[in-house]
Structure 1
């Protein structure tokens, strides 16, 4: 069952997402050019803006310091999840002929290089970059798996959808599901991100 309005909205969203990505990249390139031109000036500014480690610790609320071990305790399960999901896709995706998700497209580690961050802020940026990238990586693997096995939209409204969800069949549309599932599986063989 086709819905032209939904297809039009999806196309507009994709266009806006591409435009946003392009604009963010342009801003980054402008920033990079600016850094190249004014490298020494920028580095000196970063050194001035870097908060002293002892001042940082002394001004951090005590509850933030006490909660840090709780935040960091999630790292071990995250590493285990990373390992298992990566093994899962390496073993199963070739069997299903699903193109593998490139981990490096999702887990981007670069903010720790910013000179205005002190060592603790850099470590925190490493953690956040890894953890949020991992969640996006896992969501893409799960989305491709869901597209292969059960590409059916939920009856209830979702707060957040993964990148594959818009392609899924409407809840209760058994005809489209039976007729179109093979086509959705074929799409997974030739994903171009």
Structure 2
């Protein structure tokens, strides 16, 4: 049987390590400087230097924005309708989707567009993942039978695969803990 308190300690250490990493990166950001006039690559130079294969793949990459926006709308509606019914705290979209790199003066227009696209798309995936993770914790908080890469932190609090002892009691406790997350905000 897994020691739930030990799992909580380890996940808290992960969170603290992540906070420490952000603090370290923030210190680095404070020291960053560059000469925008020499660092900036003009739009036409940037286009001219690009490989033809990059330009040919651009419609495929940018075509993905359509399903991404549809996914964004669907998941946002899903949590707006369902989460209040179940008492699951809503995920703040702005915590995940950050589009700010387009303000960097040393990027040309195309680089800014690319950065906005990536900020949206990667943030959207993280936003969707958190909504799915909270849903999974509410409806099926059972770990998988084999190792899964890149699981959300809350996954480690799920019940062990094949351990059905006191299932409903533990399930109820996990739901209560999930609901408390919203109260702590």
RMSD: 1.9
Do the aligned partners of 2:11 and 2:153 also contact (CA within 8 Å) in 1?
no
Candidates 170, 177, 184, aligned match of 1:187: 177
* Unpaired stretches in structure 2, ≥5 consecutive residues: none
> Normalized against structure 1, the TM-score is what?
0.87
2:101 maps to 111
1:123 and 2:113 equivalent?
yes
| Segment of structure 1 superposing worse, 16-25 or 72-81 | 16-25
Q: Secondary structure at the match of 2:41?
A: coil
| Segment of structure 1 superposing worse, 162-171 or 175-184 | 175-184
Q: Secondary structure at the match of 1:154?
A: coil
Instruction: Give, in angstroms, the shift of residue 138 of structure 1.
Output: 0.1
Deviations along 1:46-65, whole A, 9 cap, x unmatched?
A: 13211111111111000000
* Unpaired stretches in structure 1, ≥5 consecutive residues: 36-41
* Moved beyond 6 Å, runs of 4+: none
1:39 maps to none
Do the aligned partners of 1:143 and 1:163 also contact (CA within 8 Å) in 2?
no
> Normalized against structure 2, the TM-score is what?
0.90
* Greater relative CO (CA pairs within 8 A, separation 6+): 2
1:158 and 2:159 equivalent?
no
Q: Distance in 2 between matches of 1:89 and 1:10?
A: 25
Q: Where do 1:9-28 residues align within 5 Å?
A: 9-28=10-29
Instruction: Give, in angstroms, the shift of residue 176 of structure 1.
Output: 4.7
Instruction: Give, in angstroms, the shift of residue 5 of structure 1.
Output: 5.2
Do the aligned partners of 1:148 and 1:185 also contact (CA within 8 Å) in 2?
yes
Instruction: Give, in angstroms, the shift of residue 153 of structure 1.
Output: 0.3
1:81 maps to 71
Q: Distance in 2 between matches of 1:177 and 1:186?
A: 14
Would the alpha carbon gap of residues 184 and 25 (structure 1) be closer, same or farther in structure 2, given more than 3 Å must change? Answer: farther
Instruction: Give, in angstroms, the shift of residue 7 of structure 1.
Output: 4.5
1:63 maps to 53
Q: Distance in 1 between matches of 2:166 and 2:9?
A: 19
Number of residue-to-residue matches in the alignment: 182
